[in-house]
């Protein structure tokens, strides 16, 4: 059996049978870079737009809520594209984002830079 398999593409056979992945099904690095760049741009523009259109009293809460919604949506979408459980990824994005926002708000309050 090993002789028959080694007559084919040895690297592909080794990757598939011993390492458990198909080299032809790997992510495209160029596509991943473009998607990452677009995600960063959208992730930066959305909060700026929210701050620009919100009243002064609603800027912080609305930015926090929209940011958390965005993290949930992106977490679920990424999980769907990667074949992972969407609910778990969405919850992880929500909890991680909420913790990061609360820590940032706490540091701001401690230093006198926040509400």
Q: How many domains does the chain have?
A: 2
pLDDT at 6: 62
The CA-atom distances, in angstroms, between 28 and each of 23, 40, 58, 74, 92 are: 11, 18, 41, 19, 25
Alpha-carbon torsion, ordered 101, 59, 46, 80, to 10 deg: 40
Q: Considering the domain boundaries, does residue 2 fall inside one?
A: no
Question: Do 61 and 95 reside in the same domain of the chain?
Answer: yes
Q: Considering the domain boundaries, does residue 42 fall inside one?
A: yes
Residues 95-112 pLDDT 10s: 999 999 999 989 988 998
Which one, of 95, 103, 49, 39, lies nearest residue 72 by Cα? 95
- The model's confidence at residue 114, banded by pLDDT at 50, 70 and 90, is low
Question: Do 64 and 44 reside in the same domain of the chain?
Answer: no
Between CA 44 and CA 40 the distance in angstroms is: 6
Question: Do 31 and 17 reside in the same domain of the chain?
Answer: yes
What average pLDDT does the structure give for the chain? 83
pLDDT at 53: 93
Supply the range of the domain harboring residue 78. Answer: 56-115
Q: Considering the domain boundaries, does residue 3 fall inside one?
A: no
pLDDT at 39: 81
pLDDT at 36: 79
pLDDT at 69: 93
What pTM, to 2 d.p., does this model score?
0.65
């Amino acid at each position: 059996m090993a002789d028959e398999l080694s007559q084919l593409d040895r690297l592909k056979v080794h990757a598939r049978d011993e390492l458990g992945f198909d080299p032809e099904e790997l992510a495209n690095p160029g596509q991943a870079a473009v998607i990452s760049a677009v995600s960063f741009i959208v992730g930066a523009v959305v909060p700026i737009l929210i701050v620009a259109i919100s009243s002064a009293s609603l800027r912080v809460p609305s930015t926090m809520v929209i940011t958390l919604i965005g993290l949930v949506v992106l977490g679920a979408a990424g999980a769907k594209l990667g074949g992972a459980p969407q609910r778990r990824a969405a919850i992880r994005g929500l909890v991680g984002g909420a913790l990061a926002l609360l820590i940032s708000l706490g540091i701001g309050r401690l230093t006198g830079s926040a509400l």
